[in-house]
C-alpha cells in the first residue's frame, strides 16, 4: 500500500555549494524545497516529485528536507561541495510540528 505522506523533522540549506541527488536504478523520490531566506516556516515548503529518469540538483541557499523514496527502498548518489556548511531548522523544536510531505501526485 503506498504511503500518503512522510513526516520530516528537519530541513537545511548549504550556503557554500549545491547538492546533487541521482537515483542509481531509476527510483522515484520526493523532496521538500523552499526558496532562500532565513525567515523559514513550514508553509514555505513545496514537495517536488522526481520520477527517477534524472537527478535533482539543489542550488546553494535552497532549503531542502529529507529525500524520500516513493518505494520502500532506493539507492541515490548524493554529492555536494567540499565545504559542508549547513544552516538547519528543526520543525518540532521551532514550530511544534513536523513537515508533512505528500507522497502521491
pLDDT in tens, 35-66: 999 999 999 999 999 999 999 999 999 999 99
Name the strands in the sheet holding 56-58, side by side, starting at the edge strand that comes first in the sequence.
Answer: 56-58, 19-23, 76-80
Q: What is the pTM assigned to this prediction?
A: 0.92
Which CATH number covers residue 79?
Answer: 2.60.120.480
Contact call for residues 8 and 65 (beta carbons, < 8 A): yes
pLDDT at 1 over 70: no
Give the dihedral sign, CA 29/102/6/84: positive
Q: How confident is the model at residue 30 (pLDDT cuts 50, 70, 90)?
A: very high
| Overall number of domains in the chain | 1
Read off the pLDDT of each residue in 82-91 and give the average, rounded to a whole number: 90
| Domain that includes residue 29, residue range | 5-102
Amino acid at each position: 500500500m503506498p504511503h500518503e505522506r512522510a513526516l520530516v523533522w528537519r530541513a537545511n540549506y548549504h550556503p557554500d555549494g549545491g547538492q546533487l541527488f541521482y537515483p542509481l536504478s531509476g527510483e522515484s523520490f520526493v523532496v521538500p524545497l523552499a526558496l532562500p531566506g532565513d525567515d523559514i516556516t513550514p508553509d514555505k515548503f513545496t514537495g517536488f516529485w522526481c520520477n527517477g529518469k534524472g537527478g535533482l540538483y539543489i542550488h546553494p541557499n535552497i532549503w531542502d528536507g529529507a529525500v524520500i523514496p516513493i518505494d520502500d527502498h532506493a539507492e541515490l548518489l548524493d554529492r555536494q561541495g567540499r565545504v559542508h556548511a549547513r544552516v538547519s531548522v528543526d520543525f518540532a523544536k521551532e514550530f511544534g510540528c513536523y513537515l508533512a510531505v505528500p507522497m502521491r501526485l
